[in-house]
Structure 1
Amino acid sequence: MTQQQNDTNERFERGWQALAAIDGEAGTRVIDQLADIAPDFARYIVEFPFGDIYTRSGLDLRQREIATIAALAALGNATSQLKVHIEAGLNVGLSRDEIVEVLIQMAVYAGFPAALNGLFAAKEVFAARALQQAA
């Protein structure tokens, strides 16, 4: 195995562990859904954001998810990804109140429609999680 292949495998392993810890089943579903259409893109997602960025030491996972939730809400067109990262925020220790406050903050910088869309996405995630925990 070449050094480049070894480095790529280490990035993938590091990324897969981070993805599992942060996104849990939701992250695995995203990767699985790409397997038949864009398996290389699925690998890039595991290696770059999760293997390289999420594992950096500059921010903890809670801080990274706050930034991610804010960015996705501000985009206004990434509801599916926003829901995954709201769930991820809960997985890494953000409270529902913290997530709601991040989304309310987006009204100032991204507008009320983006904040509303984010809050409705959060409401769906919170409800689904409550059902899972009740089962």
Structure 2
Amino acid sequence: MTQQNCNADDSRLERGRRALAEIDGEAGEKVVAALADIAPDFATYLLEFPFGDIYCRPGLDLRAREIATIAALTALGNAAPQLKVHIAAGLNVGLTRDEITEIIMQMAVYAGFPAALNGLFAAKEVFAPQSAAESGA
């Protein structure tokens, strides 16, 4: 993430909005918008803490943060919607499909085959539009 997106002088909410846009793009905005009518305060918490605070910390670049996030969500085994968003974010910050597939496969060792299978099927869904575009379909 660029240093300007994590300016310590900005509010947590401002930093979070910029970080979310850079990492997740339109998918992240859809999550926040979907919360507007049921839990707008939760949308604010989502922007401030994970994106305004954690993603803006020094020490790991966005690529490394998305590797960790994809691995954790795969290991949970019950977070397919969030995993799909972060697989797309991983692609957005420079991970390849092969790297994402390997991250998910690695989780079979620690989280079990069911969790890895669920993760691979989530990745397949995220990769499908890109694969179709590459094949000219």
TM-score (norm 2): 0.88
Amino acid at match of 2:36: A
Counterpart of 2:90 in structure 1 is 89
Percent identical among aligned pairs is 73
Counterpart of 2:106 in structure 1 is 105
* Superposed CA offset, 1:55-100 (max 9, x none): 1111100000000000000000000000000000000000001000
* Post-superposition offset of 1:101: 0.4
> Structure 1: how far apart are the matches of 2:55 and 2:48?
10
Query: Which contiguous aligned blocks of 4+ residues in structure 1 show a shift greater than 4 angstroms?
Result: 131-135
Counterpart of 1:119 in structure 2 is 120
* Post-superposition offset of 1:130: 3.8
Counterpart of 1:60 in structure 2 is 61
* Within-5 A mapping of 1:61-76: 61-76=62-77
Unaligned regions of 5+ residues in structure 2, if any? 1-7
**Secondary structure of the structure 1 residue equivalent to 2:25:** helix
Amino acid at match of 1:91: N
1:31 has 2:32 as partner = yes
> Structure 1: how far apart are the matches of 2:69 and 2:54?
12
C-alpha RMSD of the superposition: 1.7
Unaligned regions of 5+ residues in structure 1, if any? 1-6
Query: Which structure has greater helix proportion?
Result: 1
Counterpart of 1:47 in structure 2 is 48
* Superposed CA offset, 1:99-131 (max 9, x none): 000000000000001001000100000012344
Change (3 A) 1:129 1:32: farther
> Structure 2: how far apart are the matches of 1:132 and 1:100?
19
Amino acid at match of 2:92: N
* Post-superposition offset of 1:39: 0.1
TM-score (norm 1): 0.90
* Superposed CA offset, 1:24-50 (max 9, x none): 010000000000000000000000000
